[in-house]
């Protein structure tokens, strides 16, 4: 349960869309994923019952519970970091409000990045496998995590996704978090870097409205710059607000749709990959 907004994570489901090629070679993964999902549901039901018991007995213990929940998440995040380190995998946590263009940016990035490292994607959405299907069509292996009533991905879900995806050593793992500018910022998922995408149609006032998200970001991508002539969006104001919260944050304006300035994003990703050493030493925040 997310104690910030009260959403539940006890109805999480993972699914692996069939890759466009080698469709029949991964049939066993479904059973594998099913087992993980079952474990996950049982764990969370257990936690849920436990949390409710505490809530009813001691309503004032919410803060304590949140600390306990985040401490548990941090332990899972350490496990994720250990897996990533053992395989030299670089992991990016991609966050934004719904519709900012996370999936569209990935669809362009997968064929466009031009790296010889494989790209894997964890797709977080409350329902549907629409985005994992789009990522698979774009040429990357993806796992869809449906969080049900949950508003964020946690480190346990990412750990289970890693086991389902089984990414090859040296690859890039992108976690597309559930669309939400609040709760995903609170959960360490073992990532090396955090990217926040804000689109120009959302307004330039978001950093100060959602400070936790922007304060913890390594990169702010301003998407849909092709729409700038049609909206009131002050890019210098956005940059100023973001840097008031996060002095060194890089702000990259681009259009995932038209490809304008997309090279800046590729260069940032490549620098992150270069910084990741073959032994998988942690880079980033
Ligand atoms: Mg998406």
Q: What is the 3-state secondary structure (H, E, C) of the chain?
A: CCCCCCCCCCCCEEECCCCCCCHHHHHHHHHHHHHHHHHHHHHHHHHHHHHHHHHHHCHHHHHHHHHHHHHHHHHHHHHHHHHHHHHCCEEEEEEECCCCCHHHHHHHHHHHCCCCCCEEEEEEECCCCHHHHHHHHHCCEEEEEECCCCCCCCHHHHHHHHHHHCCCCCCEEEEECCCCCCHHHHCCCCCCEEEEEEEHHHCCCHHHHCHHHHHCCCEEEEECHHHHHHCCCCHHHHHHHHHHHCCCCEEEECCCCCCCCHHHHHHHHHHHHHHCCCCCCCCCC
Ligand 1 centroid from CA 53, angstroms: 35
Ligand 1 centroid from CA 279, angstroms: 31
For each of the domains in the chain, give its residue range(s) and CATH number, in order of start: 13-17+26-275 (3.40.50.300)
pLDDT of residue 195: 98
Angle between helix 155-165 and 62-87 (nearest 10)? 30
pLDDT of residue 41: 42
**Does the global pTM surpass 0.75?**
yes
Ligand 1 centroid from CA 93, angstroms: 13
Ligand 1 centroid from CA 125, angstroms: 7
Span 214-228, pLDDT tens digits:
999 999 999 999 999
pLDDT of residue 61: 67
pLDDT of residue 30: 45
277 is written with which tokens? 């050493």
pLDDT of residue 51: 46
Ligand 1 centroid from CA 94, angstroms: 10
pLDDT of residue 66: 80
Antiparallel, parallel or unpaired: β 13-15 and 141-146: antiparallel
Low-confidence residues of the chain: pLDDT under 50: 22-31, 33-34, 36-38, 40-42, 44-46, 48-57, 277-285
pLDDT of residue 165: 97
pLDDT of residue 38: 47
């Amino acid at each position: 349960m997310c104690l910030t907004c009260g959403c539940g994570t006890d109805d999480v489901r993972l699914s692996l869309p069939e890759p466009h090629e080698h469709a029949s070679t991964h049939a066993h993964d479904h059973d594998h994923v099913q087992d993980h999902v079952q474990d996950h549901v049982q764990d969370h039901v257990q936690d849920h019952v436990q949390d409710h018991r505490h809530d009813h007995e001691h309503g004032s213990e919410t803060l304590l519970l949140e600390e306990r929940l985040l401490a548990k998440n941090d332990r899972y995040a350490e496990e994720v970091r250990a897996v990533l380190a053992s395989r030299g995998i670089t992991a990016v946590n991609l966050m934004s409000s719904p519709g900012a263009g996370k999936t569209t940016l990935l669809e362009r990035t997968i064929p466009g990045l031009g790296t010889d490292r494989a790209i894997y994607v964890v797709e977080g959405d409350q329902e549907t496998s629409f985005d994992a299907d789009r990522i698979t069509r774009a040429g990357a292996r993806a796992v869809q995590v449906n969080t049900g009533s949950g508003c964020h991905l946690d480190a346990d879900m990412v750990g289970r996704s890693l086991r389902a995806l089984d990414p090859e050593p040296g690859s890039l793992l992108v976690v597309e978090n559930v669309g939400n500018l609040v709760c995903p910022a609170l959960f360490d998922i073992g990532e090396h870097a955090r990217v926040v995408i804000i689109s120009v149609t959302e307004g330039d006032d978001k950093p100060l409205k959602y400070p936790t998200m922007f304060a913890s970001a390594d990169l702010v991508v301003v998407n849909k710059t092709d729409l700038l002539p049609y909206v009131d969006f002050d890019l210098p104001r956005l940059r100023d607000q973001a840097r008031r919260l996060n002095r060194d944050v890089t702000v990259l304006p681009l259009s995932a749709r038209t490809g304008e300035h997309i090279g800046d994003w590729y260069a940032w990703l490549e620098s992150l990959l270069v910084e990741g050493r073959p032994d998988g030493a942690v880079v980033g925040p």
